[in-house]
Amino acid sequence: MGLTIGVDIGGTKIAAGVVDEEGSILETCKVATPTTPEGVVDAIADAVRAVSGDHRVEAVGIGAAGYVDDKRATVLFAPNVNWRNEPLKDKVEQRVGTPVVVENDANAAAWGEYRFGAGKGHEDVICITLGTGLGGGIVIGNKLRRGRFGVAGEFGHIRVVPDGLLCGCGSQGCWEQYASGRALVRYARQRAAATPENAEILLSLGQGDPLGIEGQHVSEAARQGDPVAIDSFRELARWAGAGLADLASLFDPSAFIIGGGVSDEGDLVLEPIRKSFRRWLVGGEYRPRAQVLAARLGGKAGMVGAADLARHG
Ligand SMILES: [Zn+2]
């Protein structure tokens, strides 16, 4: 099979790209994400048509945030778009006239990294996406593992703190409340309020108010050596690495791939994650350890992965 299209449905933008068998993106386009479910279907179809052009496209893969059924056809539940048992595959196929598969967005990103990014050459990788929340994907034995009902790899909602912080999912103490972009901002705000003398750069970026601190401020301040910003990254990394140790007990992969906006900071966050991972890995000194690698495809992983999954079925 030749060219396929990968579609990445984000909270604000829908991105579509024509992708070849090597994972190279030949053409892309972006449209704003509509607010209604019907609007999103229209926008996907428009984006697919716009990017197709003269290319002979054989299939379309859609990466969507939410629970996707094991047939890769229906979005059972989506947190951002109001989808409840949405037959997305059928609806988009009717519009674009080519076969369509629907994948969970974190699974699509994991597959993209496994095939063409940091996971190349590995057979068993676990991908973690540290974005606003925490997403995951499982590739074991060179296969994407979706589980019986299609919803495996939802690591963000593993409960790591009994009776811990309330999560948007309705549970308490979920991992993403402690290891995610949102958690990073919370750490920075709390620490800046408690010890403003150690957060001068951070506070100036937040207009002097701890509540004015946003994610990009923490990154910027950490790069400039702000102690509270650096400490906030370390706290996030501590939770992330401890979780990886748990996942190693479950899956025993050869590599963890860390993607998402938070991982853009590279070793600033990856080194403390590695340290925490070693600290919490049972028998860590007496066994081979998985590598902890930075994702390589950045924001394109989901698009490339969805396109490739449409090709390989
Ligand atoms: Zn949760």
pLDDT tens figures, 43-91: 999 999 999 988 999 999 999 988 999 999 999 988 777 889 999 999 9
Compute, in angstroms, the gap from residue 138 CA to the centroid of ligand 1: 19
Distance CA 236, CA 34 (A): 33
Backbone dihedral region of 146: left (phi > 0), alpha (psi from -120 to 50 degrees) or beta? alpha
Predicted structure pTM score: 0.93
Given this model, what pLDDT does residue 103 score?
96
Residues 100 and 115 sit within 8 Å (Cβ to Cβ)? no
Residues 237 and 265 sit within 8 Å (Cβ to Cβ)? no
Compute, in angstroms, the gap from residue 158 CA to the centroid of ligand 1: 7
Residues 22 and 116 sit within 8 Å (Cβ to Cβ)? yes
Q: State phi, psi for 144 to the nearest 5 degrees.
A: -70, 125
Compute, in angstroms, the gap from residue 243 CA to the centroid of ligand 1: 15
Compute, in angstroms, the gap from residue 127 CA to the centroid of ligand 1: 18
Compute, in angstroms, the gap from residue 161 CA to the centroid of ligand 1: 11
Compute, in angstroms, the gap from residue 166 CA to the centroid of ligand 1: 8
Stretches where the chain sits below pLDDT 70 are 1, 313
Given this model, what pLDDT does residue 313 score?
63
Given this model, what pLDDT does residue 12 score?
85
Residues sharing a CB contact under 8 Å with residue 300, sequence separation 6 or more, in sequence order: 17, 25, 112
